[in-house]
Amino acid sequence: MRKSITYKITNILTDSEGYLSLRNLSALMSDVGYLQEIDIEDKIDMGRYRWIVYKWDIEILEPIKLNDEVTITTIPTHINKFYAYREFLVERQGYLVVRARADFMLIDIDRLRPVKIPAKIEEAYGHEEESLRPPKLKYSKDLDFVKDIQVRRADIDTNLHVNNGVYFDYVKEITGINDKDIEYINLVYRNEIRNKDFVKGYAKREGDIIEYALRSTEDDMVYSLGKIKLHV
């Protein structure tokens, strides 16, 4: 089952250069996915469950700019035990400009643990052939400390942890790159940032590849990590 929504890119969604920010791109894609969840899960008891995103893989074929009108289509492709996979296609005037995949886990909110996705949920979402298979990446621990990043009250969402989209802002902060320069970004959520005033940002660049990580200030706990490929 697919769902599509069209959005006009206004000032509030763009960065200082007039390009749709990664944070807001992920928010728009998440919005389409959430509205589809409402449609699909209308007759399923989801009271004890909550979806969380585990990983993003986003390929930007062409940057999206102020005043662009884009249509975002979400496609739940398949489920594999604890993971549900959802693709996104972003089109401008009928041309594909962004494609992405988000990997989700289903959390039992009473036990705060991932659960195997029930058959009734898998059946409700259905299956569709994958069009995007992200590469299997290896991550290095040998990154350079860049800076401490302050966690603002405005970064916290209704789940009382740093909102998923804010991580993209943190990544830009430690790498110093602009939205329009990104060709591909991989972002993995390892642990929630909760009840923290600061997190440590690490990064290392080799050619057009940047690897990054967000870690705890008290120990070596990893909150998030990933890789970026820049336009050349």
Q: For 17-62, how does the pLDDT look when each residue is reduced to its tens digit (9 = 90+)?
A: 999 999 999 999 999 999 999 999 888 887 888 899 999 999 999 9
The greatest distance separating any two alpha carbons of the chain, rounded to the nearest whole angstrom, comes to 50
Average pLDDT of the chain is 93
With tokens 């039992």, the residue in question is 108
Q: Find the helix or strand (DSSP H, E) in which 7 lies.
A: strand 3-8
161-163-169-174 Cα dihedral, nearest 10 degrees = 30
Q: 183 CB contacts (<8 Å, ≥6 apart)?
A: 59, 60, 208, 229, 230, 231
Distances (CA, A) of 124 to 34, 105, 114: 15, 16, 19
Residue 23, pLDDT score: 96
Sign of CA dihedral 167, 168, 171, 172: negative
State percent of the chain over pLDDT 70: 100
One-letter amino acid at 59 equals E
Evaluate whether 149 touches 114 at the Cβ level (below 8 Å): no
